[in-house]
Amino acid sequence: MMNLEKILHNVKIEKAFNFRDLDVMGIALDSRKVQKGFIFVAQKGEETDGHKFIGKAIENGARAIVFEEDLDETVFDSDIIYIKVKKTTSALGTMASNFYNDPTKKLKLVGITGTNGKTTTVTLLFRLLQSMGIRCGLISTIENRINDTVIPTERTTPDVLTLHSLLAQMVEEKCEYAFMEVSSHAVVQQRIAGLSFAGAVFSNITLDHLDYHKTFSNYIKAKKKFFDDLPSKAFALSNIDDKNGKVMLQNTKAKKYYYSLSNASADFRAKVLDNSFEGLDIELNGKEIYSPLIGKFNAYNLLAIYSVAILLGLNKEEVLVNLSAMKSAPGRFDCYRLSTGAVAIVDYAHTPDALENVLKTINEINTRNKGKIFCVVGCGGDRDKSKRPIMASIGQKYANVLVITADNPRTEKIEDIIEDMKQGLKKDKPGKQHFCIPDRREAIKLACTLSQKNDIVLVAGKGHETYQEIENKKHHFDDKEEVLKY
């Protein structure tokens, strides 16, 4: 419970009606979650407009309404408090921070953004600090954690109220640090409003989410805004090997740092000494370590993790020792030995760049065994269609056998998605085969049963996910479970 005036501290109010002293029991964005004594914040979302549910919120017990659209003035005759602001999304960030006693002033929050590598980076940062006996929190695509307590998650970055609540719980549990994925959607929708970041990391940016951002330029701007808004006391760490690595930090007030596998001027550098299915032999700023993680893309992840740890002031030797024991996040290059003698890999790669990185890594390692490479991949429905032919083209380029299949078709017909993907295929490629099998279970079965000793089967796109989303319903489906049958 908190006084209304305290919750509204630093909120720019345009108009207020029936304003008076009030003890507030909670804040809600969803009218269905409103309880007696709550403030209801009417937000204009992508699909719904909260202003349409003000009446329902009042029925459920809301005593104050924060809004931005003009309302019929007759509603102000009631005893409900109405507060008009320019943008409810901005106001909500400040209100949430006030209501939860500004949790990011009491722990160090580090955000990681980029197209690929976010989940692995935040997960391993969390595990690294835990292994060093430091209490910390995690907010990721796979799960949210407060020390050893696991909290299920529904999306990469939670809504602003959930986020502040989680961070407040971390403070209560005496966490010193928190690591979170920051999606481009979250930046645009101001889900991170009201948070104070101690540091931010940019991993890379490639074609993704154009169904939402419309253009690649808008996508870049969304990521860049995260760094533009950082305070001067924070650090900003960027992958300088990405062509947009410097662009991201152009206007930031934070202290700039860069990491690289190829640029000698970077603050943090790594060199891959050996890369196999057993792991990486890697040099981090002159110190050699072995890691069970696989692939050049994981060398970047390890370097980013090491860099953040050093920027947070942790002991370098202790970081290196514990980092060498870190295993990857679930669904990220998970390896299994099939009964045929082949190796199967389950990976979340669902963007062109991620798929290419994984397949390049497989090809680099495969030069020793010279087996065939099978790639099972699909594209999500109701999402960016432009990447569909590109994904198929990459699969055909790097794999001997490409199996195009379903991957969360949502409300689209699987056959239509497959047809879009097929546009990226080239005809008459020597030594190449492709199959189109709409049933993902059958597609995995085909690849696994056709494989032989020394072959590699990549099942890409879903990784840790345990469902297939078809016609707005989630049906249990786990790539790992399917692979383990063989």
Domains plus CATH for the chain? 2-99 (3.40.1390.10), 103-323 (3.40.1190.10), 334-484 (3.90.190.20)
Please, which pLDDT band fits residue 213 given cuts at 50, 70 and 90?
low
Q: Which two tokens stand for residue 29?
A: 């964005």
Which residues have C-beta within 8 Å of that of residue 148, sequence separation ≥ 6? none
Q: Which single residue is written with the structure tokens 């999402």?
A: 383
Q: Is the CB of residue 30 less than 8 Å from the CB of residue 161?
A: no
330-350: pLDDT as tens digits: 888 999 999 999 999 999 999
List the Cα angle 11/14/17 in 5-degree steps. 100
Q: How confident is the model at residue 214 (pLDDT cuts 50, 70, 90)?
A: low
For residue 85, pLDDT over 70 is answered with: yes
Residue 208 has pLDDT above 80, yes or no: no
pLDDT digits (tens, 9 = 90+) for 86-142: 999 999 999 999 999 999 999 999 999 998 889 999 999 999 999 999 999 999 988
Instruction: Write the CA distances from 287 to 269, 275, 277, 315, integer angstroms.
Output: 10, 17, 22, 14
Q: Does the pLDDT value for residue 48 go beyond 90?
A: no
Per-residue confidence band for 314, with pLDDT thresholds at 50, 70 and 90: very high
For 149-199, write each residue's pLDDT tens digit.
Answer: 998 877 667 899 999 999 999 999 999 999 999 988 888 888 899 999 999
Average pLDDT over residues 390-418: 96
Percent of the chain with pLDDT over 90: 81
Q: How many other β-carbons are positioned within 10 Å of the β-carbon of residue 439?
A: 12
pLDDT at 360: 92
Contact criterion met (CB below 8 Å) for 84 and 14: yes
- Res 32 pLDDT > 80: yes
Q: Specify the pLDDT at position 45.
A: 78
For residues 63-92, one letter each, b for 16 or more C-beta atoms within 10 angstroms of the residue's C-beta and e for the rest, the string is bbbbbbeebeeeeeeeebbbbbbeebbbbb
Residue 463: name the closest of 400, 381, 376, 383 by CA: 376
Whether the predicted pLDDT of 297 surpasses 70:
yes
E strand or H helix that includes residue 237: strand 235-239
Coil vs helix vs strand at 468: strand
203, two tokens? 């991993």
Per-residue pLDDT at 133: 96
pLDDT above 70 (res 211): no
Question: Model-level pTM?
Answer: 0.84
What are 433-483's pLDDT values in tens digits?
Answer: 999 999 999 999 999 999 999 999 999 999 999 999 999 899 999 999 999
Q: Which of 113-117, 248-252, 286-290 comes out lowest in average pLDDT?
A: 113-117
Answer for the pair 314, 307: CB distance below 8 angstroms, yes or no.
Answer: no
Sign of the torsion formed by the C-alpha atoms of 14, 15, 20 and 26:
negative
pLDDT over threshold 70, residue 40: yes
Q: In the prediction, which pLDDT does 123 show?
A: 95
CA distance 292 to 334: 11
| 3-state SS class at 304 | helix
Check residues 45 and 334 and name the one with the higher pLDDT. Answer: 334
143 exposed, middle or buried (CB, 10 Å; 0-12, 13-18, 19+)? Answer: middle
Task: Summarize the confidence of residues 9-20 as an average pLDDT.
Answer: 95
Per-residue pLDDT at 155? 65
User: Residue 264: CB partners within 8 Å, gap ≥ 6?
Assistant: none
In sequence order, what are the beta bridge partners of 457?
A: 344, 374
Residue 244 has pLDDT above 70, yes or no: yes
